Copies of this chain bind each other. A is one copy, B any other.
Amino acid sequence: MVEPISNEEVCFSREKLDVYGDAHPKALLKAIQEEGDHLKNLAEQHIVSADQFTRDELLQLFRLSAKYEGNPERFSSPLKGKILISAFYEPSTRTRLSFESAWHRLGGDIMSITDRSTTGIAKGESLQDVGEMFNNYGDCVVLRDSNEESVRLMMNSLRIPIINAGNGTDEHPTQALADLYTILKWRPGLISDCENTPKIKMGIVGIPNKMRTVRSLLKVLAIFPEFFDEVTVFHDGSNTQVFDEGQIEHLQNKGLNVSVSTELYDKLPELDIVYINAIAWVGNTFESFGDKFVLDSNAPLKKDAIIMHPLARGEELSTELDTTSHNWYFSQARGAVFLRMALLTCMCQRTERVMDIV
């Protein structure tokens, strides 16, 4: 018999353990001037790749995200009457719930597809026909699929916007946007006072050609190359090629100073941001990389360094770090909901309903 439960065990606190509260979104709000016009472009685009955004679109998107995050109770259902088709052909709970929570917070309705085998695809239906079907049923689609091509095939017939929530090992653009949003909440001076704000030394522990989060993240960082002193990709040496052909050059041509290394612990004391990801979904299973790399309380982190991780995590990121000031990965996950709220508001042409508030 399980021990009877004590009163202390069942009581809980709603107070956030995270000491950052809403100070960071509010600081970012101040750092960016409002120029809502740039958001109009986002009403007519599918969101497929982290490459497709301009600097101004991203700054305004982050500003709207910070407005949502700083005032979560104040917005009155801008997506009322809108229907989201949440299609996760590749399983996910975290990303699916992040999008669905964002859509619910905005007052919209949702239809979920979580089992690829129940769809017409199992009957041989083309993805173009699936897109044509979705046109009739909803106002926006979010799609994750192990098949890298699905989102582009579906786009051929879609007359409603689609967000790529992960297509094979290719991209996961909203994760990357949420990640840069987190970085700017941490150091808003990069926008408001670039000259006097120290550039970031960032380490990314992961495999850029196998992890869509890393591929997209590097692309997003390359939109603001001047924020970064150096971005170093750390891997454990077991993959000979960690970049696809042309991938690193594409980033360097945009001005991002990208390097590669296998010696994480040597460089750790210099890094301002350590971004770590160990899991890659490849097909129907996941592979774990970087057993060799573990961040725990022994890691020689710089005092003010922050750690980011797209989650879910395994042993590569120890829970010992959760209660330290290095922990920005929980804040990263929370901010992602507000980033998605901002993006979805724009894509559904409802920006005007939220622009004058605050």
Contacts and interface: CB of A to CB of B under 8 A. Distances in A.
Contacts of A128: 319
A200 interface: no
A7 interface: yes
B159 A14 contact: yes
A19 interface: no
A98 B12 CA distance: 25
A266 B132 CA distance: 31
Number of this chain's copies in the complex: 3
Interface in A90-134: 91-94, 97-98, 100-101, 104-105, 109-115, 117-120, 122-126, 128-129, 132-134
Interface string A1-25: 1101101011111111100000000
Contacts of A13: 44, 159
A307 to B, nearest CB: 14
Nearest to A1: B244
B111 A10 contact: no
B9 A48 contact: yes
Contacts of A83: 101, 104-105
A304 interface: no
Contacts of A105: 83
B104 A109 contact: yes
Interface residues on A, range: 35 or more
A148 interface: yes
Which has the most chain B C-beta neighbours within 10 Å: A124, A171, A246? A124
Nearest to A337: B136
Given A12-B158, A15-B159, A83-B101, A1 B247 contact: yes
A44 to B, nearest CB: 5
Nearest to A97: B137
Interface in A43-102: 44-49, 51-52, 83, 85, 88, 91-94, 97-98, 100-101
Interface in A270-290: 279, 286
A312 interface: yes
Nearest to A152: B9
B319 A155 contact: no
A246 to B, nearest CB: 6
A146 to B, nearest CB: 13
Contacts of A193: none
A121 to B, nearest CB: 8
B10 A312 contact: no
Interface in A325-358: 330, 333-334, 336-337
A170 interface: yes
Given A9-B155, A17-B159, A83-B101, A49 B209 contact: no
Given A97-B134, A114-B118, 9 more contacts: A7-B52, A14-B44, A91-B118, A93-B118, A101-B138, A104-B109, A123-B314, A132-B333, A135-B334
The 9 closest A-B pairs by CB, nearest first: A120-B312, A91-B118, A1-B244, A125-B312, A101-B137, A93-B119, A104-B109, A5-B49, A136-B334
